[in-house]
Structures are given as structure tokens and as C-alpha cells.
Structure 1
Amino acid sequence: MTPAGPELRRTLGVGDAVVVGLGSMLGAGIFAALASAAHAAGSGLLVALAVAAAVAYCNAVSSARLAVRYPASGGTYVYGRERLGEFWGYLAGWSFVVGKTASCAAMALTVGAYVRPGQAHAVAVAAVVALTAVNYCGVRKSAWVTRVIVAVVLAVLASVVVVCLGSGRSDAGRLDVGLSGGTGGVLRAAGLLFFAFAGYARIATLGEEVRDPARTVPRAIPLALGIALAAYGGVAAAVLSVLGPVGLGQATAPLADAVRVAGVPELAPVVRAGAAVAALGSLLALILGVSRTTLAMARDRHLPGVLAAVHPRYRVPHRAELAVGAVVAALAATVDVRGAIGFSSFGVLVYYAVANASAWTLSAAPRSRVVPAVGLLGCATLAFALPAGSVAVGASVLAVGTAAYGVRRWWAGRFTG
């Protein structure tokens, strides 16, 4: 289906698309989510990581298959609309925009907490304004900035792994006596860790801006996911080897605490700086992805049509980017980061549930349906394993979106019937 209105400029290759995905995945989650996940899963942390990775892999494969068929901006909003019907596309788009807007606020607040804890909200708002300006000037500039950020973050994470594994100060013996969250705790931890893995969606939402999307997107998604999985697994094992599940579950800044316990306290400020840089990279890619889904929904009049405009010079959805930036800035000035993360996880899992259901319809062959079936079941399981408050708020917001869709259809029917 050809999108209505001006098309975006295709400038991104495989490397750029991988970097955009990594910029989201290697964000603040690796620095912050490990502690809350360890608190929930205890000695089952690595199992939870594997569960989150398995669900993420299924989602990535389903997204890649769909992106080949529908190489347009909007990701699962487009896939759900084309494969399942208008409502399911709308539900995916609503879940993504609302959930990831909350995620943007969480990343901005993470920047503020690491840069200047006493004025975290003010720093968060400033970060949103600055990165919205970067995105406004064009996606190539965004990809270049993200490339620098990803390089810095990978260097910091590699340093943490080397220091922890080479310290000889292992508390791994506590693994067998650490907290045990049971099956429920492992699934809850997997849902929290999934928040940090979900960045490969940014690649699919950029389908209209990559060169040769039928080739680029299917290659970029598994590459980005594989690199992120290697980084997360290495860091989790290294930090666990030093702190053990109990210490990790109680840590406020787990990676910084780990290098201190490992005997290299001078590296802690570098880790804190890396966390701030990582959160900036995640925020940059998130604003980029949310604005593209907003563009796609505005083109179909599910959001105000004025947001579908593409800048004549920069060839970016400038009004959508400004609107998203304004909403995120307002949230960053007011919300709590923990609530934002839980709600975002629920919304993103719903989004991927629609993606897997859409991929299920691509082929009637049983072997082709195994991955989307596992992905759909995994998304539903992790979504409802999240804290009850996150599930309640998430379900309520989805109900509001569904009601808005119904009212819009009823109103349109009055004038067309």
C-alpha cells in the first residue's frame, strides 16, 4: 500500500538501521533494569533474561517478515491494519504511541537522575527539547549521533565486564542461597527486561526511510538483537559474579556498585556517565520511532491530519516530531520513572502481540506459524505477569483508546450513512 502524501527520504543502510535499533536497546535498561529484575527473579535472573530474549527473537522474526511485505513507516500499525483489519492496526498504533511516549519520559528522567539528581525533571525536559531538535534536522543526523552514543555505551559495558570477571572477587557462591522469585518472579523479571530489548521495533517503524527495505530490515533486526543480547548476557553474568542476586537486587546503581566491589571505584563515574549517554541514545531513537508511527496514524486520520505533514527540506514528519516532543517534555516534568517503565512494558507487549498475530496470517504452512504463535503467547504471558498496577493502568488506557476508536467510527458513520 502506498502511503498518502509526500514520502520520506530513503537514506538508511543496514549499518545505520542496526545502529538505530541498538540506540534503543542499549539504553538505560542495561544500567537500571537489572536490579529490579534481580529483585523479582533472584537467582533466576539469567533464566528471565533468556525468556525475554526468546520472546524478543520471535517478535523480531515476525516484524522482519512483515517489514518485507509492508516497507512503510508505522511498523505494526501498518501490519495489523493490512493483515487483521483497521481496528487491530489502530490498537497496535495506540499501544505503541502511548507506551513508548511513557518510555521516552522514563529515559529522559534517567538522564536527569544520572546527570543532576537534584534537578532530574529539569534536565529531562532539556534533553527532550535538544533531541527533538536533532530529529527535526533529519534522520541521517539522528543516525550519526546514535552511532557515536552506541560506541560509547559498548565501550563502557565492555569495561564493566572485564573489570568484574577479572577482579577475582566473586560472590557467585551466593547464587544458590539468593532470593528465589519462583516462576512468577522469573516471568515478572522477563517482562521488565523486555522493556530494554524492545528497541528493534525502531527499525521496522523506519521502513519508509531505509534503502532497499526488503533486504535491509530483515538483516538489520536480527543483527541488532544479537548484539544487544550478547551485551546484556555478558553484563548480567559479570555483575552477578560480583554482587550475587541478593546484592544486585538491592543495588540502586548496579553497574557502578559492581565496579566498586570489584576494586576499581575510579571506574564508577565513567559508568554513571555511560548510563546518561545510553539513556540519551535510547531517547533519541524512541522519539524517532514514535513520531513515525504518529505520522502513519495521522495519514489514516486516526490522529489529527495536521501531523501527517512532511518537511519540504528535511523530509521528516516535523509536526509529528514537535507534537511528540511536547508531550514527552510535559510527562518528563511530572511523572514517576518506575510507573512509566511498567506501563510502557505493557503497551509494547500488546503492540508485539498484534505483530505476531499479523505474521501468523502471512502463510498457512504450520512451520511458518510456529514463531508467531510462540511470540503471541509469550507477549500475553509477560504482559499479565507485570505488576498489577501496571496491568491495570495499561488495560485502562487501551480501553480509552478503543472507546475513542468506536466514537470516531460512529461519528463518521453518521455522515457517510
Structure 2
Amino acid sequence: MTELTESLHEDVPLAGEKLKGNLGTFQIALLVIAAAAPLGAVLTAAPIGFQLGNGAGLAGTFLIAGFLMVCFSVGYGELIRAIPGAGAFYKYLSVVFGSRVGAGAAWVALASYLAITIAVAIVSGYYTNLTMQTFGINIGWMSWTIVFMALTSYLGRANIDFAAKVLVPLVLAEFFMLFLLGLSIFLDKGFAAFPVQAVSIEAITSPGLGVGLMVALAAFLGVESAALYAMEAKRPEKSIPGATRLAVALVAVAYFVIIWLIVGGIGADAIKGEAATAQGELIINLFSTRIGTTTAALVSIMLCTSNFACLLSLHNAATRYVQVLAKDKHLPSVLSNIHPQRNSPANASLLVTVLVAACIAVPTSVGYDAFVFLFPVTLALSTLGLIGLQAFISLAVIAHFKKMSDRRYLKILISPLVALTGLSLAVYLIYENYGLLTGSESAWVNGTPLLLIALFFYGVIKGRSNTI
């Protein structure tokens, strides 16, 4: 255990083995926000929450989810300060609970990030093809997915500073378009655009709360990934926890306010029915009626870039898990190699690209519709895995600082305890509604959470012998 702790705390690798970057707090925060895909979450996930979830109460549910994630980020930020270096879930759980538990968590995290990268790659191709069809371009969803994955592969192998230059303006543009929609609703309706009904206990606890909470928390997936960029950040001891808290705060406020305004713009009593009728076109239609058809068309195109930004951010996160696992001998060491010119985890990035491509190509080649068959399963699996790990990290915060006899109770006890309770409840609700998320009645499909359990115990069994 002592050797493991020393290895995990070592921040100065040998020359040529270190990832390099010049990321600041704001850049890292936007890289993290890109994984949350604000525009994509509002345009594609929110209608599902309105229709299948608790309707107007989704606004209040996003408030609860945002509060839980803020509590999570407070404790998580303190853990990042206390345990410096790269590795995120893997590193922190290894230090707090031992190498075996850390290795098990790392395999669950890697599987979850690969699953959500697959899901986003599929949805990127589908939505881009649908959007381009309106402009007379129809090359098929698979062609667009190949284009996105080729770009992701190139940028994933480049230095992270270059990737940040691509992602940052895309994320800022997403926020700007959501701001325009919210402003147009507010200027039309004034403070009536914020209906109290949408944040009432009655609306929040109405039928469908479980689905609404799943949608809301899924919109925050990836917010913990800032710690994966520790070796590529300026002053990581400050920029990483700062970026995590900034990302969570910005996303929480933006989601809550825009969802509340959307409820006000459509009407609290009408939102559920409108979502059932318009489904995925609900928010695009709102853009069209509020700001104009030209803006709605632009937003449709920006949804494609939002999905791409999300894909690249998630690819980078999965890549860094592969690189760290390979560095600690859980995967072939060649995957830990750093590109000599780009200072990037190029081999790990290539593996992630190949795995994602294979997982999409194989079922598609034998006749399965990837959007119908694969997308729901990978999204549900990744949601369950990552939220479960967030709950585990909240427990790690409490355990670690109890050992240190730290008395900052608000940051290292109360906040993580609230997050642990709320996220654990969310894991239960996701598991209970797993069939609804996957849209399948197959025992094989709905039994996929067992894969995460199997991977965790595989890591537990193999972790000790493979760790340096």
C-alpha cells in the first residue's frame, strides 16, 4: 500500500513520459462542460424528461440534481487538493480504499466512458444526418459517424491545448444560443416565464420523478473528468478543483434556468402533452416560434457541433483512463506511451477509437439498427456506472478526511454526505427503471449492469498483482 501511494503521488515522470499541456482553470472547465453538452442535453434529453418524467416538475428536478452535483463537487474538490496527480476515480479510490478497489473502479470508469462515447458517436451521426437531410444532403448516419470519429481520432492524438482551442468556442456558442432562447421567453412573458408550479414539491414529486431525476443527473455526466487533465494543466493543485467547481456551477445554473424558462414559455400545464407530440423537435420548435426559423436551423446545425464537442471530450476522458491504467500495468505498457512531438497519449487514443468503431460496426454489419439497439443500452449503462462512481467518491471523501481528523465539516462531511445519499438514491432509481431507459424487455439487455459488477471484481482480483 505504501508503494502504491508513493506511485500515485508521483507527479514528475521520467523525461519523455509526461503528458504536457498549458490548460488553465477556465479551459479545463469548458472541456468538462463539453462532455455535458449543454445544447445537446437541452434539445434531446429534456423532451424525454418532460414526456416520460415529471413534466413541468423537471425544472425543480434539475434544481435538485444541480444541488447534488454542487455538493459532490465541493467534497471532490477537497479530495483533489489532498491527493494530487492524474487518474481521477482510479487514483482517489486507490489511495483511500486500496489498490484493489481503485483498480476495480478504474475498469468500471473506463467501461462507462467507452459506453457513453459509443452512445454519443451513434447519436452524433444520426442527428447530423437528419439535420443535413433538410438541406438536401443525405449520406447516411454511418458516414457522418465515420467523419466525426476521424476528426475525434485526429484531435484526440493531438496536444490537449489544440483540442481545447476547438472545444472552447463551440461550448461558448452553445451557452450563447441557450441564453438567446431564455432571453426571448423572458422578454415576452416577464417574471411569468418562471412559473412557481414548476419548482413546487407537488410538481417535482409527480409521477415520473425517477425518470426525471435520471435525465437531470445524466446531463451532468463527465463533470468529474477535470482531474484527468492534471498533468496537462497549469498549477493543477488549484486549476483542477477550481475547474471542477466552476464547471458544475455553470452547468447547474444554466440547466435549471433554461429548463424553467422552457416550461414557462410552453406552459406548465401544457409541457407534458407538447413533449409527447413534438418529442425531439420540442425545443427546436420553440426556437423557431420565439426567435425565427433561421435561428432554429442554425441551432439544428449547432446541435451537430455540440454532439461532436461532447464526443471529443468523452474520447479524451476514456483515453486518459487507458493511459493511466497502462502506466500501472493493468493494460499493455505500450498504451501508456506519450507521443514525442505532440506530448499526447496517442496510443491510448488510437485504442479508444478502434474499440468504439468496432462496437458500432459489428452489430451494424449483422443487421442491427445501432440507434435503436445499441444507443439506449450504452447510454443507460454509462449513466449507471458514472453516477455509481460519483457516489463512491463521495464516500471516499468522508473516509479520507476522517482519517486525517479534518474538522471542516461542511466541505468534507456534510456536502459529500448529501451527495452520497442523493446519488445512491439515483443509482437505485436508475436500476429500477433500467428497462425504461434501454427500451427493451430482453433479460440480456437489461442484465448489462452485471458487466460493471464483473469488471469491478476483475479489477479487485487482478489489481494488486498488476500495480507497481
1:248 aligns with 2:292: no
Distance 1:86 1:408 in 2: 10
Root-mean-square deviation (CA, aligned residues, Å) is 2.8
Paired residue secondary structure (1:303): coil
CA 1:225 to 1:399, structure 2 compared with 1: closer, same or farther past 3 Å?
closer
Contact 1:195 1:344 in 2 (8 A): no
Cα distance, 1:396 vs structure 2 = 0.8
CA 1:224 to 1:249, structure 2 compared with 1: closer, same or farther past 3 Å?
farther
Q: Quick one: which of 90, 100, 116 aligns to 1:87? A: 100
Match for residue 269 of structure 1? 297
Residues 98-144 of structure 1: per-residue CA shift (max 9 Å, x gap)? 11212112222232222213622331232122112112111000111
Long gaps (5+) in structure 2: 1-8, 131-137, 365-369, 439-445
Cα distance, 1:248 vs structure 2 = 3.1
CA 1:283 to 1:7, structure 2 compared with 1: closer, same or farther past 3 Å?
same
CA 1:150 to 1:181, structure 2 compared with 1: closer, same or farther past 3 Å?
closer
1:298 aligns with 2:326: yes
TM-score by length of 1: 0.90
Alignment of structure 1 residues 92-107 onto 2, 5 Å? 92-107=105-120
Alignment of structure 1 residues 303-382 onto 2, 5 Å? 303-333=331-361, 334=364, 335=370, 336-364=374-402, 365=407, 366-367=409-410, 368-382=412-426
Q: Quick one: which of 103, 118, 121 aligns to 1:108? A: 121
Match for residue 221 of structure 2? 198
Contact 1:164 1:258 in 2 (8 A): no
Per mean C-alpha deviation after superposition, the further-off stretch among 8-17 and 315-324 is 8-17
Match for residue 429 of structure 2? 385
Identity %: 18
Per mean C-alpha deviation after superposition, the further-off stretch among 338-347 and 256-265 is 256-265
Per mean C-alpha deviation after superposition, the further-off stretch among 183-192 and 156-165 is 183-192
Match for residue 132 of structure 1? 153
CA 1:191 to 1:216, structure 2 compared with 1: closer, same or farther past 3 Å?
same
Contact 2:54 2:212 in 1 (8 A): yes
TM-score by length of 2: 0.80
Distance 1:249 1:75 in 2: 39
Long gaps (5+) in structure 1: none
Distance 1:30 1:98 in 2: 25
1:259 aligns with 2:287: yes
Q: Quick one: which of 51, 57, 77 aligns to 1:44? A: 57
Cα distance, 1:264 vs structure 2 = 2.5
Cα distance, 1:164 vs structure 2 = 3.1
Distance 1:216 1:409 in 2: 30
Cα distance, 1:173 vs structure 2 = 8.3
Match for residue 396 of structure 1? 450
Distance 2:27 2:91 in 1: 22
Match for residue 30 of structure 2? 19
Contact 2:89 2:106 in 1 (8 A): yes
Distance 2:203 2:414 in 1: 31
Match for residue 283 of structure 1? 311
Distance 1:237 1:203 in 2: 28
Contact 1:37 1:189 in 2 (8 A): yes
Distance 1:213 1:263 in 2: 41
Paired residue secondary structure (1:312): coil
Contact 2:194 2:260 in 1 (8 A): no
Paired residue secondary structure (1:207): helix
Cα distance, 1:407 vs structure 2 = 5.5
CA 1:332 to 1:167, structure 2 compared with 1: closer, same or farther past 3 Å?
farther
Distance 1:104 1:159 in 2: 29
In the alignment of these two chains, the number of paired residues is: 411
Distance 1:171 1:165 in 2: 6
Contact 1:153 1:277 in 2 (8 A): no
CA 1:249 to 1:95, structure 2 compared with 1: closer, same or farther past 3 Å?
farther
Cα distance, 1:146 vs structure 2 = 0.8
Distance 2:448 2:86 in 1: 25
CA 1:265 to 1:320, structure 2 compared with 1: closer, same or farther past 3 Å?
same
Residue type of the alignment partner of 1:200: V
Match for residue 10 of structure 2? 2
CA 1:172 to 1:82, structure 2 compared with 1: closer, same or farther past 3 Å?
closer
CA 1:276 to 1:36, structure 2 compared with 1: closer, same or farther past 3 Å?
same
Cα distance, 1:150 vs structure 2 = 1.1
CA 1:224 to 1:171, structure 2 compared with 1: closer, same or farther past 3 Å?
closer
Paired residue secondary structure (2:330): coil
1:141 aligns with 2:169: no
Residue type of the alignment partner of 1:370: I
Contact 1:18 1:220 in 2 (8 A): yes
Match for residue 121 of structure 1? 142
